């Protein structure tokens, strides 16, 4: 049998125009009063609601899977000689740390970065993708605790002000420290909403995916196939695997809260590093629904959402067309976009 080779997919077709004023700068309060666009991926139809109404679109026996990773203060200020340096810690890397450093072009291997409290690290390696490896000569958990004391909240560059409290850039269920960006689909949940859903027969399970470059780095290649996903650490507990199997057996749906949760559940790895990149044409093994925010143009997250929306269509690209049409309507309806913005439920 001759296998038909698929044509590369231009990254440009995942672009769209977003007015600056549609970029949310903070969450609404209470958080579950954000807007909710509910998209039926089989018909391509959608409707407008508020997030506190999400229970109307869930069924007793459904399983919501949340990512309980917790953000640490990964953005640090240091100096190399007289040059001020911004260091953005990404994750532990062996006995060192993978990081971004700006300005990094003139940064040399073996140079020492001195931070505001006098702590130092040494540059031990520079990578072609712009990341560097740093050695703090101290265990990773101590570096995490230190960064939380002296660093700042790593909000995305399109957010103009750093939140006054770290809780403003965390989910209410954040527990496992290790992310440099929040799993923002979870921002819409309040403890009260979660308890109310539980009383209607909705169950919750957890995974951990420590958000890093793999999630937030934009696609810079001309085709999505050429994009290189960075590895991120995940853990899908045995209890969660059991609840998923039980839910499927009883006819319930597994609904991922966020693209990070979706990637963790769809990865063949259950505990360790994954660089899974989900693109149109992918057949989802685990999730039946997805709660997600409105994502940046030409991002791997928008590609994943398009893949999920188009899974059951003959033309895999139909999902992208449906999602971008829904995005355009959301813009017309004055939805709030990106990390602190409104939500979509795709079922």
- pLDDT 10s digits, 203-240: 999 999 999 999 999 999 999 999 999 999 999 999 99
Q: How confident is the model at residue 2 (pLDDT cuts 50, 70, 90)?
A: very low
Q: How many CB atoms lie within 10 A of CB 292?
A: 25
Query: Does 184 lie in the same domain as 103?
Result: no
Domain boundary among 150, 183, 204: 150
CATH number at residue 125: 2.40.10.240
Q: Count of domains in the chain?
A: 2
Does 3 fall in a domain?
no
343: its two tokens? 């939500």
Which residue has better confidence, 247 or 4?
Answer: 247
Does 271 fall in a domain?
yes
Query: Does 92 lie in the same domain as 64?
Result: no
Query: What are the backbone dihedrals phi and psi of residue 144, each rounded to the nearest 5 degrees, phi first?
Result: -60, -45
Does 267 fall in a domain?
yes
- Report the SS3 class of residue 299: coil
Please say whether the beta carbons of 214 and 229 come within 8 A: yes
Closest CA to 140 of 181, 180, 94: 94
Domain boundary among 120, 150, 180: 150
Does 221 fall in a domain?
yes
Does 231 fall in a domain?
yes
73: its two tokens? 């203060």
Q: How many CB atoms lie within 10 A of CB 342?
A: 25
Q: How confident is the model at residue 7 (pLDDT cuts 50, 70, 90)?
A: confident
- Supply the pLDDT for residue 4: 45
The label of the residue with tokens 């994009």 reads 227
Task: State the pTM of this model.
Answer: 0.95
Q: What is the DSSP secondary structure assignment for residue 43, as one 8-state letter?
A: T
CA–CA separation, 163 and 20 (whole Å): 19
- Supply the pLDDT for residue 311: 96
Strands (E), the chain: 35-39, 46-50, 63-67, 69-71, 75-80, 83-93, 96-102, 112-115, 120-126, 131-135, 176-179, 203-209, 232-235, 254-257, 271-274, 289-293, 343-346
Domain containing residue 83: 75-150
Query: Does 322 lie in the same domain as 190?
Result: yes
Given a cut of 90, whether residue 1 has pLDDT beyond it is no
CATH number at residue 22: 3.40.1780.10
């Amino acid at each position: 049998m001759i296998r038909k080779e698929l044509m590369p997919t231009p990254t440009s077709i995942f672009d769209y125009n977003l007015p600056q004023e549609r970029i949310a700068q903070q969450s609404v309060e209470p958080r579950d009063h954000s807007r909710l666009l509910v998209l039926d991926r089989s018909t391509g139809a959608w409707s407008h609601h508020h997030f506190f109404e999400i229970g109307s679109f869930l069924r007793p026996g459904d399983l919501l899977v949340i990512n309980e990773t917790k953000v640490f203060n990964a953005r640090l200020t240091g100096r190399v000689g007289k040059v001020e340096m911004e260091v953005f810690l990404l994750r532990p890397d062996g006995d060192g740390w993978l990081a971004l450093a700006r300005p990094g072009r003139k940064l040399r291997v073996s140079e020492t970065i001195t931070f505001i409290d006098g702590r130092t690290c040494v540059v031990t390696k520079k990578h072609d993708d712009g990341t560097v490896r740093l050695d703090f000569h101290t265990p990773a958990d101590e570096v995490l605790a230190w960064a939380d004391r002296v660093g700042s909240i790593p909000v995305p560059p399109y957010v103009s002000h750093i939140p006054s409290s770290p809780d403003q850039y965390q989910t209410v269920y954040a527990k496992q420290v290790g992310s440099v960006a929040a799993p923002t689909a979870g921002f819409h949940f309040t403890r009260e909403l979660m308890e109310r859903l539980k009383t209607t027969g909705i169950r919750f399970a957890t995974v951990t995916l420590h958000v890093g470059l793999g999630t937030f780095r934009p696609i810079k290649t001309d085709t999505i196939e050429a994009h290189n996903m960075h590895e991120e650490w995940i853990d899908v507990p045995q209890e969660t695997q059991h609840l998923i199997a039980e839910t499927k057996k009883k006819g319930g749906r597994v609904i991922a809260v966020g693209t990070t949760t979706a990637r963790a559940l769809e990865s063949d790895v259950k505990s360790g590093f994954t660089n899974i990149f989900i693109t149109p044409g992918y057949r989802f093994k685990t999730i039946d629904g997805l709660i997600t925010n409105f994502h940046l143009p030409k991002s791997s997250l928008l590609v994943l959402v398009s893949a999920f929306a188009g899974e059951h269509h003959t033309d895999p690209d139909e999902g992208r067309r449906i999602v971008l049409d829904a995005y355009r309507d959301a813009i017309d309806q004055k939805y709030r976009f990106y990390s602190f913005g409104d939500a979509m439920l795709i079922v």
